[in-house]
Amino acid sequence: MTNTFSLAAITFDWRPIVPLLIVALGAIIVLLAGVKVDDRESEGLGWLSLLTIAIAFCTALAIPGNQQISFGGALVADGYTAFFYLTILFAAAIIVLMSLDYVAEEGLPGGEYYSLVLFATAGMMLMAAAGDLIIVFIGLETMSISVYILAGLARTSPRSNEASLKYFLLGAFSTGFLLYGIALIYGATGTIKLHALSTLATGVPAPMLLIGVGMLLIGFGFKIAAVPFHMWTPDVYEGAPTSITAFMAVGVKLAAFAAFVRVFLVHLLGVQTDWSMVLWVLAVLTMTTGNIVALMQTNLKRMLAYSAIAHAGYILVAMTAGTSIAGAAVLYYLLGYAFTNLGAFAVIIALSRRGHPHELISDLRGLGTREPALAAAMAIMLFSLTGIPPLAGFVGKFSVFSAALNQGYVALVVIAVVNSVVSAYYYLRPVVAMYTDEGGAEVVALSSRPALIAAIAIAVIATIAIGVYPQPYMNASTSAFASALSKPPLATTASLRP
């Protein structure tokens, strides 16, 4: 045996793995350090996590823009991987910032909390860098199981327990679909490597392949909360600790779309005619259900849950088009969506105090006079979610819709625009409440929560910057998606055994 074994077969490229290793190592260190830390004084663990994320962010900058295959095709180092590494790490950093005071105040177990946030981040990065379907699956599970636990960490709260159990049961069910889909694709083509799949899954596909792709679609549909796989979303978003809700709305979506877009828009283009119609229907259902049900919500977290469903629908509009312009539009949209949602959830955390979550829209009443800065931040986030120029949400929607229009999906874009108009009603309702009504919830002095202010400020600046001056971010999205589409260097392709 020894004579046939050679390390050269692995094709080492350390660059995509180093940020992952740092995050996982940091998670273990935080977990060990957490044993000695009181739950009411867990800020130190948060700073340690932030340091880990910062180091990983710096090493992620070294990932090359042109495509390199690493570890025999298991990981891909390209601009696409780098784009999602950086976005996911940035989002995780803001999550940690907004958790610093919140976790200590709520008395959540600090060691477990921060280490699981880091483990989930590692899982998300694994999904973004995945070069084969097994890695997609393991990354997805690492992320999902961490988030199931995080959702239930407030163990004395029945709502948190319900959220965790519901998310776990439905998540495990959906993972079954994903795994079965992967097995069927392997049965039909004999490979789970994405690069080999893109050459094998072409022409008239075998029924086994199509059923496998359909199962994969259901599995991803659950994670991005597309209708009709969205039933868990509102209860889980409402019940989980608010910082974790933000993590689910942003991090989980980023990672799920990273893998979803890479598998479908890059490697399953050969059978695009078979799945684009399904995505069309999913997009319409998702947008419409999300927006219409959001109209009736009185709880802010629930409203943002339905808004997150609707936004997944807008992204599916671009994915239906399936072009490289559409892929770039999805990446840009996700960037804007991430910062906007992080900001909105950070404001909800700012409203809360121990034992009083203050999550109702009526709690926002009169915020404009009592805390003008906080109210302005919330208003900017809601305007961006509505898609009002010049904020990130507007440019995102514009690029997503125009990508679909380019491919002639006129009806789809009309439905999307109508949906977008409907959504203005529920996004503007809290704004009206903030500036015209009186008598909402009292806010804890913001000056006692500097980290939270920093998180909100970063989110606001990013939302405005991405919207006002979109060109560099658009270019980054375009080149990231283009590098995912490019073929890997010939020398390494040859070593990819199907």
Partner 1 sequence: MPLWLFIFLAALAIIGAAGVVLQRHPVHSLLSLVMTLVVIAVLFIGLGAATVGFLQMIVYAGAIMVLFLFVIWLLNLQSQPLEPGHLALKFLGSLGSAALIAELLLFVVHPPPAITQNRAVAMDFGSIGRLAQSLFTDYLIAFEATSVLLLVGVIGGVALARRTTAGGGGAPGGTP
Note the residues at the interface with partner 1 (CB under 8 A): 1, 4-5, 9-10, 17, 24, 28, 31, 34-40, 71-75, 106-112, 115-116, 119, 122-123, 126, 132, 134-135, 138-139, 141-142, 145-146, 148-149, 152-156, 164, 187-190, 200, 206-209, 211, 497
Nearer to partner 1 by C-beta: 93 or 120? 120
Distance CA 82, CA 88 (A): 10
Query: Which of residues 34 and 366 has its CB atom nearest to partner 1 in the complex?
Result: 34
Smallest gap from Cβ 445 to partner 1, in A, equals 23
- Maximum C-alpha span of the chain: 79
Cα–Cα separations (whole angstroms), residue 174 to 222, 232, 272, 426, 439: 6, 11, 23, 30, 43
Which residues, in sequence order, are CB contacts of 122 under 8 Å at separation 6+? 20, 23, 24, 27, 142
Dihedral sign, Cα of residue 292, residue 298, residue 304, residue 306: negative
Nearest-approach distance from CB 492 to partner 1, in angstroms = 13
Which stretches of 190-241 are DSSP H helices?
194-200, 207-223, 233-239
Q: Shortest Cβ distance from residue 192 to partner 1 (Å)?
A: 10
Nearest distance, CB of residue 207 and partner 1, angstroms: 6
Shortest spacing between CB 465 and partner 1, in angstroms: 34
Cβ at position 158, least distance to partner 1 in Å:
12
Helix, coil or strand: residue 358: coil
Which one, of 82, 80, 76, lies nearest residue 59 by Cα?
A: 82
Q: Measured from the CB atom, is 150 or 293 closer to partner 1?
A: 150
Nearest distance from C-beta of residue 71 to partner 1, angstroms:
5
Q: Residue 204: count other Cβ atoms within 10 Å of its Cβ.
A: 8
Q: Are 250 and 333 in contact (CB under 8 A)?
A: no
Q: Give the amino acid at 19.
A: P
Give whichever of 152 and 327 is closer to partner 1, judged by the CB atom. Answer: 152
**5 versus 471: smaller Cβ distance to partner 1:** 5
Question: Within 10 Å of residue 481's Cβ, how many Cβ atoms?
Answer: 27
Q: Which is nearer to partner 1, 152 or 290 (CB)?
A: 152
Nearer Cβ to partner 1, position 80 or 332? 80
Contact between residue 163 and residue 144 where contact means Cβ atoms under 8 Å apart: no
